[in-house]
Chains A and B, each alone.
Chain A
């Protein structure tokens, strides 16, 4: 069977290409909302952790955060996904996509937290002291002096985390979510043609990642233009 015929069978016949486009929508949806959850969660955890490390306050929240980081970073994301779906939400009627958003969001949060904490700790302590000596309290100094500087430092690493997350969502198929990878698997299961659907899926992921990388480098350049240090 030649390439064109195989292409027709895998993508054109029975509108099989819709498995890929529908899957792509699901993948983007899950990635977008998990990135948001991950960022929010990550920033909160990072601020708690660095506050504890700098000032010794917030001992108990810090312990909880460390527990969270250990558990989430110490277990594979696919296992977490299955636990959240089959154990935590065992008999709760909840949409699978929401389960995936929660699972990937919580997972990503742990990695974002460590990235952001690194960024916060990299801001010189003198900045914090300067803020305090100007009469700002700890929270104001954190929000208007430390975090903006930390954000610029960690931006490339955060973007990388988004890219990793986009690709990690490919295990969502384990709980029968028809994401992009699963879309390719569905086509493969119908046509028993191994390669074309896999390659198509790979190319779509690659294009998304290349576009994301490009966007981030533009953003980085904009931020660097303001850098007078």
Chain B
């Protein structure tokens, strides 16, 4: 009895060890947007990619909580493609040499700041600050700092003597979405963070960042625990019934990430 049991245990352990090491991900089968039909597509829940993937014929859409989990699943062959925005995708590509992007773009998406439905005053303030930042080129230079070839050369810093007398403005975000918001050491940085800092500098608020799950951001805004939700959020008619959106502050492209052909 003892021998049988320990023998069984040994077999189980070996099998586990084998399955975890052996076997590589299946070859890539997606070479164009049309190939997505009938495939397993990974998305991050609540992104524009999620909404659009639903319309791909016969495709199974797997809604992950984070892009990093979706990319992990792609690398292991659990799904066939990930629909992801191009900037976030390029960060993943630079860290993983076994995935690549299809050259065909999937769609465009526009990001906006989410604000509590009641708070039209803040919406007006933010929109005026955004239009100033657009016209004086600050927004473009923040964008370039994260996206262009000379990224990192022109980081935003508050002008000297900026007035923060209106007190704190709490921004809810999910810092797992490079280059829009991510952790660098113990700091949360990124395009959205710099953009909001600039907005707050214009308006006289002091920016405070709360990092939370992507799912919780809207709840935080609606319950008043945060003033704004900024996490690469896109505007849909359904969502507009429940939160206010600012004007869009950037446009990005959705792309399709697949395993590299070996």
Q: Which residues of chain A have a CB within 8 Å of any CB of chain B?
A: 1, 6, 9, 13, 48, 57-61, 64, 86-93, 96, 173-176, 178, 182, 185-186, 188-195, 198
* Residues of B close to A182: CB separation below 8 A: 45, 63
Across the interface, B241 reaches (CB within 8 A) one of A1, A86, A195, namely A1
Q: Which residues of B, 1-46, contact A by the 8 Å Cβ criterion?
A: 1-2, 5-6, 9, 16, 19-20, 22-26, 42, 45-46
Q: Are A188 and B20 in contact (CB under 8 A)?
A: no
* Residues of B close to A190: CB separation below 8 A: 46, 51, 236, 238-239
A140 nearest CB across to chain B (Å): 15
B121 nearest CB across to chain A (Å): 19
Do A58 and B223 contact each other (CB < 8 Å), given the known contacts A176-B63, A190-B238, A194-B218?
Answer: no
Q: Does B99 contact A (CB under 8 A)?
A: no
Q: Are A189 and B16 in contact (CB under 8 A)?
A: no
Q: Are A64 and B73 in contact (CB under 8 A)?
A: no
- A193 CA / B221 CA spacing, docked (Å): 10
* Residues of A close to B239: CB separation below 8 A: 190-192
Q: Are A89 and B215 in contact (CB under 8 A)?
A: no
The 3 A-B pairs at the shortest CB distance, nearest first, are namely A189-B46, A194-B219, A192-B239
Q: Are A1 and B242 in contact (CB under 8 A)?
A: yes
- A9 CA / B243 CA spacing, docked (Å): 14
Determine the residue in chain A with the shortest Cβ distance to B40.
Answer: A176
A199 nearest CB across to chain B (Å): 12
Determine the residue in chain B with the shortest Cβ distance to A9.
Answer: B241
* Residues of A close to B62: CB separation below 8 A: 96, 176
Produce 1/0 per residue, B215-235, CB < 8 A to A. Answer: 100110011000000000000
Across the interface, A185 reaches (CB within 8 A) one of B16, B20, B45, B77, namely B45
Do A192 and B218 contact each other (CB < 8 Å), given the known contacts A1-B241, A1-B242, A174-B65?
Answer: yes
- A194 CA / B215 CA spacing, docked (Å): 9
* Residues of A close to B78: CB separation below 8 A: 93, 96
* Residues of A close to B63: CB separation below 8 A: 176, 178, 182, 186
Do A9 and B238 contact each other (CB < 8 Å), given the known contacts A91-B24, A192-B218, A194-B223?
Answer: yes
Main secondary structure of the interface of B (DSSP, over half): mixed
B23 nearest CB across to chain A (Å): 4
- A93 CA / B78 CA spacing, docked (Å): 6
Q: Are A188 and B218 in contact (CB under 8 A)?
A: yes
Q: Are B72 and A86 in contact (CB under 8 A)?
A: yes
Determine the residue in chain B with the shortest Cβ distance to A173.
Answer: B65
A42 nearest CB across to chain B (Å): 16
B41 nearest CB across to chain A (Å): 11
- A61 CA / B4 CA spacing, docked (Å): 10
Q: Does B108 contact A (CB under 8 A)?
A: no
- A92 CA / B215 CA spacing, docked (Å): 29
* Residues of A close to B25: CB separation below 8 A: 91
Q: Does B69 contact A (CB under 8 A)?
A: yes
Q: Are A58 and B238 in contact (CB under 8 A)?
A: no
* Residues of A close to B65: CB separation below 8 A: 173-174, 176
* Residues of B close to A1: CB separation below 8 A: 117, 241-242
Q: Are B19 and A88 in contact (CB under 8 A)?
A: yes
Across the interface, A60 reaches (CB within 8 A) one of B6, B22, B243, namely B6
- A1 CA / B46 CA spacing, docked (Å): 22
Q: Are B76 and A86 in contact (CB under 8 A)?
A: yes
Q: Are B16 and A64 in contact (CB under 8 A)?
A: no
Q: Are B77 and A91 in contact (CB under 8 A)?
A: yes
Q: Are A186 and B45 in contact (CB under 8 A)?
A: yes
Q: Are A90 and B76 in contact (CB under 8 A)?
A: yes
Across the interface, A192 reaches (CB within 8 A) one of B42, B50, B73, B243, namely B243
Sample (24) of A-B pairs whose CB atoms are under 8 Å apart: A9-B238, A13-B238, A58-B2, A61-B2, A61-B9, A86-B73, A89-B19, A90-B20, A91-B77, A92-B23, A93-B26, A176-B63, A176-B73, A182-B63, A186-B63, A188-B46, A189-B46, A189-B215, A190-B236, A191-B238, A191-B242, A192-B114, A192-B218, A194-B223
B228 nearest CB across to chain A (Å): 13
A13, A61, A91, A192 — most chain B CB neighbours (10 Å): A192
Determine the residue in chain A with the shortest Cβ distance to B219.
Answer: A194
Produce 1/0 per residue, B40-77, CB < 8 A to A. Answer: 00100110001100000000001111000110110011
Across the interface, A58 reaches (CB within 8 A) one of B5, B26, B45, B69, namely B5
B120 nearest CB across to chain A (Å): 15
- A191 CA / B243 CA spacing, docked (Å): 9
Determine the residue in chain A with the shortest Cβ distance to B43.
Answer: A176
A65 nearest CB across to chain B (Å): 10
Q: Are B5 and A60 in contact (CB under 8 A)?
A: yes
